[in-house]
């Protein structure tokens, strides 16, 4: 063995570093121990979560904040625990490199029953083929470097997860060094030109053009470009719920979140009566569309994502999202004087009444006054998200939520990933009690690595989103004494919050306690919820059996 | 709609009840809420776990104890969280019915981006095809009942998990009633007769025949048949580690656990020098084989499982395990006088020295004296399993551990499943601190449903199995104050145990406290481990890079 040659494990680490990955989340196991040793000797910090699920969610959040994330686990018993988190990264376009150790190629002869094996040695690979945009088993030193390059390129091209399986006898094997990085994909200049000319003509001819900004602008790092486009043209901007915070909510051209009948009426009116809707990087999901209460007519729309560009009912091929937005910035789009576009009503005024029980509405009023531009709000699906949608986010991309795939258990580990990705940010984690009981103990990992999120448990003793749809004791959640968690973890501050003044006092204490986590157990009336959730569950309830009963 | 006809959801519930399923584990979500409502109105109790992972492990344990288990979750965000637990049930032959809600067939037209969708509507189905022995989507009322029958039959034939996807618009749709239950598979009488005659001749001609009993005897309910065979013939019996407790360890013919060089030398000698080894229902996994230190010669073996019957190097087809064991019981096998077979050394004598730190060895001595025939020992992979292997189990099937697939996080939720399956049993859960941090908070579910396991946390502040293989801070686990858990959950008793006398006092208190869980945080020296684990990690360490470095 030529020790000066780069080994397959070393090359993988090199590519992670080249793409800005400085932390990797995971849990070790015997099939991946050799690679953990290599990581341990590298500049990448290993962040050990309690469970692989937490590592998967943390890596997803890390990718959303910093552009690429990685999770490293052992074969099957680790890998299959991140099936769901990888599915979420796929659905929501978050580029996570999933690295799994595996039995050595030399151990697989005669198909023995090695521990952690499910059916065949390729079972886990076949599962991840369904959940990723590219996948590989690095079982050949001749092609290993090329394969690593190929799947990294796919992760970055589509902003989706990829799967790399590393048999343990390959970790220290030198790979074939002469390889060529794949050419980045580029737009067809003629198609791009024609598409931009058509779009500009439509925008310039319209009387009420609107931009609808979606999450892909964040994933592809195009927020600054969007701001330039808006400042040049004065076009008003709505965002989808998934795209919340891709455009600064304090910008005078921001009109609010569009989500059909679930969102605010004046935003809906303005967007749906637009004669030229420029949809940039917005996935047309049911949540983005307010459970299909949206009414967006393709005949009046320019629809651009990383996968598709259509104007009205025709499609342009081979035009990249970044190129198209960039060309719009450079194009001759008429600058407008602001019309009667709505603007979010933000009132930071509220009264704190001692002894008065906290309502959901009041909670979000206090939180609105609490957050600043160093806050990253991370909202769990449920009322944490729907109430959180009304928070007034001033920075860029300081609001994270899995608003489409909507897996519970995301928020606490995501806070871990987000703060690792940007230590200047302080996570404000909004999480229901049901979701907290899934992964909330990853606060252990928060303690271990000295992070300091503020965790708001919206404690309504149950699955609040489901109660209005179909209720039963199956929607109940045991009433933990959440504020006792610091005693279990030997760190952190816990607060039991029943009243408005207790909330104010706890938030004040949390602001100044930055050495470890603060957890606020905010005890809400189980019947209480945000207005947005009330509107949403009404739409959802009609679908419990799909067609109205 | 004909309301008197049985709906698809009702039929599914009927088949679960017919097979003795009285509890179903799961977490609700909107795509499965309609079926949860139906379950709620049925005699099946819904057991809500904190996270779907806990539900999956609980259903696995329930299946191992009672013959069939079921887990019910929502689409993708629930289903993919049980990918790993289903894989374990597959690998270890535990028949779990995985039921997932799904978008209605009427919602899938034009392939909309509904929440919880990964790539296509069949993504989850394709994943579970890899992890189950049969799978179906109940999207057609004409065939739904037949499909339910087909996958139930497969679960019971192979004792492996199956997947049923229930689109929400099908829950209340009547199915086609005229259906026929599949014929149960049967043995070819000629092949069976020939195989039994050959086996009997070999056993009768041997000077040192031994039975090696494996986990399939448990899965197929053949423990009593094995006991009859032994009592008739006086053949000595070893068990595999996966098969521990399928044969009563207090039986005079029991010789101990065979696991190659990892197990006890005298058992290894006796089994490996046998001139006729009758292996019944034992999977030849690496753990069962002591990481390939086993030396079992096919030329001297009769090897029978649910999937294969071979004698020496030839194979009989179409012979079922139960039929073969039953025929052996009826056959004319020579009764022997006991030879110099080993017998497990069980000493229940030990001294409790006040103030002396607890060692792993001492812990298991006290536990050996503690357990009785109402105890079900559930051991997490790691030293909980390897130390636990030396516990002296007197009943039948009172030892559960995922000793082959070896997923961490099993033990606490498994205790929940096991006690639900048989309320007469009290679980003694042996779990390392690393594994406890994955799923230990399912003690919340234990509290919610009034169960009373005793949980022994083997707290060595890390992944003890991995430290001897390759160490680094990635093997560390945060030192929780485990005995404070009752304050968080508002129930249970917690004990911090450092010394032998504290252990004795805590076990005494736990025996009499049967209203809720008792948790013993047994603080061990990180360098300490059982002799079996020391032998095992030595074998494993050589494989960190597959081939010795």
| CA–CA gap between residue B549 and residue B546 (Å, rounded) | 8
CB within 8 Å of A76: residues ≥ 6 apart:
A116, A117, A118, A123, A124, B84, B87, B405, B407
Q: Residue A426 pairs with which residues in a beta bridge?
A: A375
Main-chain dihedrals φ then ψ at residue B430, nearest 5 degrees: -105, 115
CA nearest to B260, candidates B298, B220, B301, B289 = B289
| CA–CA gap between residue B493 and residue B447 (Å, rounded) | 11
| Closest Cβ opposite residue B466 in set A30, A76, A131 | A30
| Closest Cβ opposite residue B472 in set A36, A50, A437 | A36
Name which of A3, A39, A116, A540 to mutate to probe chain B: the one with the most chain B Cβ atoms within 10 A of its Cβ: A116
Please tell me the distance in Å from A334's CA to the nearest CA on chain B. 34
- Level-2 CATH architecture, domain A360-541: 3-Layer(aba) Sandwich (3.40)
B8-167 and B360-541 agree in CATH topology: yes
Give the pLDDT score at B11: 97
| CA–CA gap between residue A23 and residue A20 (Å, rounded) | 9
Give the pLDDT score at B2: 44
DSSP letter assigned to residue A246: S
Query: Which value does ipTM take for this structure?
Result: 0.94
Residue of B nearest to A114 (CA): B286
How is chain A split among helix, strand and coil, in percent rounded to 5? 40, 20, 45
| Closest Cβ opposite residue B437 in set A34, A50, A481 | A50
pLDDT (average), residues A173-193: 85
Name chain A contacts of B123, Cβ cutoff 8 Å: 87, 130-131
Give the pLDDT score at B116: 87
Average pLDDT per 10 consecutive residues for chain B, totaling 549 residues: 77 97 97 97 98 98 96 98 98 97 89 84 96 98 95 95 97 84 85 97 96 94 95 95 89 90 86 94 78 77 92 94 96 88 82 97 93 92 86 76 94 98 96 98 98 97 90 95 98 98 98 97 94 73 63
Name chain B contacts of A447, Cβ cutoff 8 Å: 478
Give the pLDDT score at B284: 81
| Closest Cβ opposite residue A546 in set B168, B472, B540 | B168
Q: Which two tokens stand for residue A332?
A: 């001759």
| Closest Cβ opposite residue B130 in set A28, A113, A123 | A123
**Reported confidence tier of residue A549, pLDDT bands at 50, 70, 90:** very low
| CA–CA gap between residue B446 and residue A311 (Å, rounded) | 57
User: Is residue A1 predicted with pLDDT exceeding 50?
Assistant: no
- Model pLDDT for residues A200-213, shown as the tens digit of each residue: 999 999 999 999 99
- 8 A C-beta contact, residue B243 and residue B270: no
- CA A429, A434, A439, A442 dihedral sign is positive
Q: Which two tokens stand for residue A546?
A: 């799909």
Name chain B contacts of A441, Cβ cutoff 8 Å: 437, 441
Name chain B contacts of A161, Cβ cutoff 8 Å: none
Q: Does the structural domain B189-330 have CATH classification 2.70.98.40?
A: no
Give the pLDDT score at A165: 98
CATH topology of domain B8-167: Rossmann fold (3.40.50)
Q: Do B36 and A472 touch (CB under 8 A)?
A: yes
What counts of helices (H) and strands (E) characterise chain B? 19, 19
Q: Do A485 and B488 touch (CB under 8 A)?
A: yes
Alpha helices, DSSP H, located in B288-359: 321-330
pLDDT (average), residues A102-116: 86
Residue of B nearest to A287 (CA): B115
Name which of B305, B432, B543 to mutate to probe chain A: the one with the most chain A Cβ atoms within 10 A of its Cβ: B543
Strand A96-102 relative to strand A69-73: parallel, antiparallel, unpaired? Answer: parallel
**Reported confidence tier of residue A250, pLDDT bands at 50, 70, 90:** confident
Name chain A contacts of B47, Cβ cutoff 8 Å: none
**Reported confidence tier of residue A396, pLDDT bands at 50, 70, 90:** low
pLDDT (average), residues A283-309: 81
Domain ranges (residues) in chain B: 8-167, 189-330, 360-541
| CA–CA gap between residue A459 and residue A479 (Å, rounded) | 8
Name the pTM for this structure.
Answer: 0.95
| CA–CA gap between residue A33 and residue B266 (Å, rounded) | 33
Residue of A nearest to B537 (CA): A30
């Amino acid at each position: 063995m030529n020790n000066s040659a780069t080994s397959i494990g070393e090359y993988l680490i090199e590519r992670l570093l080249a793409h800005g990955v400085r932390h990797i989340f995971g849990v070790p196991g015997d099939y991946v121990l050799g690679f953990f040793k290599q990581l341990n000797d590298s500049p990448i910090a290993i962040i050990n979560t309690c469970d692989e699920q937490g590592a998967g969610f943390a890596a997803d959040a890390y990718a959303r904040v910093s552009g690429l994330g990685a999770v490293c686990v052992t074969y099957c018993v680790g890998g299959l625990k991140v099936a769901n988190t990888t599915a979420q990264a796929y659905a929501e376009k978050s580029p996570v490199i999933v690295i799994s150790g595996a039995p050595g190629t030399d151990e697989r002869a005669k198909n023995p029953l090695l521990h952690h094996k499910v059916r065949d040695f390729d079972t886990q690979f076949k599962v991840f083929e369904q959940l990723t945009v590219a996948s590989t088993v690095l079982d050949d030193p001749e092609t290993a470097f090329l394969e690593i390059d190929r799947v990294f390129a796919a992760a970055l091209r589509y902003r989706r997860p990829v799967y790399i399986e590393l048999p343990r006898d390959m970790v220290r094997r030198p790979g074939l060094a002469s390889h060529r990085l794949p050419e980045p994909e580029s737009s067809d200049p003629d198609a791009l030109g024609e598409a931009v000319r058509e779009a500009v003509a439509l925008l310039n001819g319209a009387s009420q053009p609107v931009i609808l900004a979606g999450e892909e602008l964040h994933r592809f790092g195009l927020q600054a470009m969007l701001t330039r486009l808006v400042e040049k043209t004065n076009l008003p901007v709505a965002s989808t719920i998934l795209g919340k915070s891709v455009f600064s909510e304090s910008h005078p051209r921001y009109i609010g979140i569009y989500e059909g009948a679930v969102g605010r009426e004046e935003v809906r009116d303005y967007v749906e009566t637009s004669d030229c809707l420029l949809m940039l990087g917005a996935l047309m999901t049911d949540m983005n569309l307010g459970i299909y209460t949206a009414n967006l007519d393709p005949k009046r729309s320019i629809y651009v994502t990383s996968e598709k560009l259509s104007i009205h009912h025709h499609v342009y091929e081979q035009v990249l999202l970044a190129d198209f937005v960039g060309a719009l910035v450079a194009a001759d789009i008429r600058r407008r004087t602001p019309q009667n576009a709505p603007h979010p009503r933000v009132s930071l005024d509220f009264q704190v009444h001692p002894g008065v029980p906290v309502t959901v509405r009041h909670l979000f009023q206090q939180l609105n006054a609490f957050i600043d531009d160093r806050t990253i709000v991370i909202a769990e699906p449920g009322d944490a998200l729907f109430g959180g949608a009304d928070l007034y986010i001033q920075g860029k991309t300081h609001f994270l939520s899995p608003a489409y795939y909507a897996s519970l258990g995301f928020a606490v580990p995501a806070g871990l990933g987000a703060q690792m990705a940007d230590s200047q940010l302080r996570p404000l984690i909004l999480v229901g009690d049901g979701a907290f009981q899934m992964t909330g103990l990853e606060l252990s990992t928060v303690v271990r690595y000295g992070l300091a999120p503020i965790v708001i448990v919206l404690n309504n003793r149950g699955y609040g989103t489901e109660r209005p749809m179909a209720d039963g004791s199956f929607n109940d959640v045991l009433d933990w004494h959440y504020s006792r968690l610091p005693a279990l973890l030997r760190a952190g501050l816990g607060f039991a919050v029943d009243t408005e003044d207790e909330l104010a006092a706890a938030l004040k204490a949390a602001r100044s306690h930055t050495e470890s986590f603060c957890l606020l157990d905010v005890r809400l009336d189980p019947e209480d919820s945000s207005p947005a959730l009330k509107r949403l569950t009404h739409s959802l309830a009609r679908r419990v059996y799909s067609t109205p009963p």
